Amino acid sequence: MKVLANDGISQSGIDALTKDGFEVITTKVAQDQLENYINENDVTALLVRSATKVRKELIDACPSLKLIGRGGVGMDNIDVDYAKSKGIHVINTPAASSSSVAELVFAHLFGMVRFLHDANRQMPLEGDSRFKELKKQYATGIELRGKTLGIIGFGRIGREVAKIALGVGMKVIASDAFVGKATINVPFYNGQSIDVEIETEPTADILKDSDFITLHVPAQKQYVIGKEQFDLMKDGIGIVNAARGGVLDEVALVKAIQSGKVKYAGLDVFEKEPAPEVQLLMNPELSLTPHIGAATVEAQDRIGTELASQIVTLLK
């Protein structure tokens, strides 16, 4: 059986599938050529990440497909219910990249509060001629320790964010439409750990009480954070979106930065990927990454081997 990993798969995943007799194809096929390629090559399983879309039309046109796999959490690029109604297995790897996304959130947080995103732009240009001025300019950074972090969306990734925040010494509050409370286990050396139970609160309270906010919700039909929500926040709030483009109103964000409501903002995802708005890309107040939350070597290995394990179980 043939597996087309159209958005790539780790070598560990390829090795696991090959060992069990699958042929793994890692050719990157353009979206408009996908139907022909799958049919011409009799592909049984299609693996994607966020780039490739698997809609009803493609599913109907490719009768050889028995499985669709998403390397990661969100499956908004796949018509999941329709695929399942056709008897096609649909799988993902919800836990594999949680730690990676959480660490990127804190990369943005630490970088923002010490102005690293701007210092890394200015030092190569003016570090030799304006060193003292830049030193003074970036000398008003703040510490995360003791600040309140509000987590909107308290699933796997949100809980990993909470784990790091507790280790840093932050106060953690969270909201979630489906989770009432969760126990966060913070591990230490020699098998020691502590458990911290966090009860979720209404989102309005998170907006009002947080010094920093991070989003970990699936794609929505409406904004989770827009002008109305910014108005409820403290002045000088910090916010990170490493969830999905479209859950944060980017126009409202830019206006909130200009007014001083938002002092720190980090984006890993954008409404118009893969071509974010120029106003965002050129804004010196923003800490930006190109949707790399799950893009670590360790996460990709976990994703590959987890996909392989599920494929072998379901198709052999």
Query: In the 8-state DSSP scheme, what is residue 213?
Result: E
For residue 201, what are the CA distances in angstroms to 43, 144, 153?
Answer: 46, 22, 11
For residue 107, what are the CA distances in angstroms to 16, 115, 130, 164, 311?
Answer: 32, 12, 26, 11, 34
Under a CB-based contact definition with an 8 Å cutoff, are residues 117 and 281 in contact? Answer: no
Spot the catalytic one: 70, 108, 156, 244.
244
Residue position matching structure tokens 């126990």:
183
| Active-site residue, 285 included | no
Question: In terms of C-beta distances under 8 Å and separation of at least 24 residues, what long-range contacts does 80-85 make, across chains too?
Answer: 82/56, 83/54, 83/59
Q: Which two tokens stand for residue 269?
A: 């995802």
Q: What is the dihedral of CA 304, 84, 223, 291, to 10 degrees?
A: 20
Q: Which of 91, 6, 96 is nearest to 49 (CA)?
A: 6
| Active-site residue, 216 included | no
**Strand blocks (E) in 191-242:** 193-199, 212-215, 237-241
Spot the catalytic one: 35, 103, 273, 285.
273
Report how far residue 5's alpha carbon sits from residue 306's, in angstroms, rounded to the nearest whole number.
14
Report how far residue 16's alpha carbon sits from residue 21's, in angstroms, rounded to the nearest whole number.
9
Report how far residue 229's alpha carbon sits from residue 207's, in angstroms, rounded to the nearest whole number.
7
| Active-site residue, 302 included | no
Spot the catalytic one: 70, 117, 159, 291.
291
Report how far residue 166's alpha carbon sits from residue 144's, in angstroms, rounded to the nearest whole number.
11
Active site residues: 244, 273, 291
